Structure 1
Amino acid sequence: MFLSKQSNLIEDIDALMDEERAVLKSGELHRLPDLLNRKEALFEKLKAHEGATEEELRSLREKSTRNQPLLEAAMSAVRAVGDRMKDLSRVRNSLETYNQKGQRYAVSMTSGGTFEKRT
Structure 2
Amino acid sequence: MTDLNAQLTHQTPQSLIDELDEILDQERSALVRGELNQIQELLTRKETIIAQLNEIGTLERADLAQVQTKVSRNQELLNSAMEGIRSVATRMAELRRVKKGLDVYDRAGRKESYGTITGQRLEKRS
**Bucket of the pairwise TM-score, normalised by the shorter protein:** 0.7 to 0.9
Question: Aligned partner of 1:34: which letter?
Answer: E
Calculate the TM-score normalised by the size of structure 1. Answer: 0.74
For the aligned residues, what is the CA RMSD? Answer: 2.5
Count of aligned pairs: 112
Which one of the candidate residues 24, 42, 48 is aligned to 1:41?
Answer: 48
Moved over 3 A (4+): 103-112
- In structure 1, the gaps of 5 or more residues are 115-119
Q: SS of the residue aligned with 1:49? A: coil
Instruction: Find the counterpart in structure 2 of residue 98 from structure 1.
Output: 105
Q: SS of the residue aligned with 1:102? A: coil
Instruction: Find the counterpart in structure 2 of residue 65 from structure 1.
Output: 72
CA distance in 2, matches of 1:103, 1:42: 61
The alpha-carbon distance between structure 1 residues 108 and 46, as it changes in their structure 2 partners (threshold 3 A), is farther
Are the equivalent residues in 2 in contact too, given 1:20–1:35 (CA < 8 A)?
yes
Which one of the candidate residues 45, 56, 64 is aligned to 2:63?
Answer: 56
Q: SS of the residue aligned with 1:97? A: strand
Calculate the TM-score normalised by the size of structure 2. Answer: 0.71
- Deviation track 1:58-95 (CA, whole Å, cap 9, x = no partner) reads 11111112223222211111111111111111112232
Q: Map 1:6-45 to 2 at 5 A.
A: 6-45=13-52
Q: Map 1:83-94 to 2 at 5 A.
A: 83-94=90-101
Q: SS of the residue aligned with 1:9? A: helix
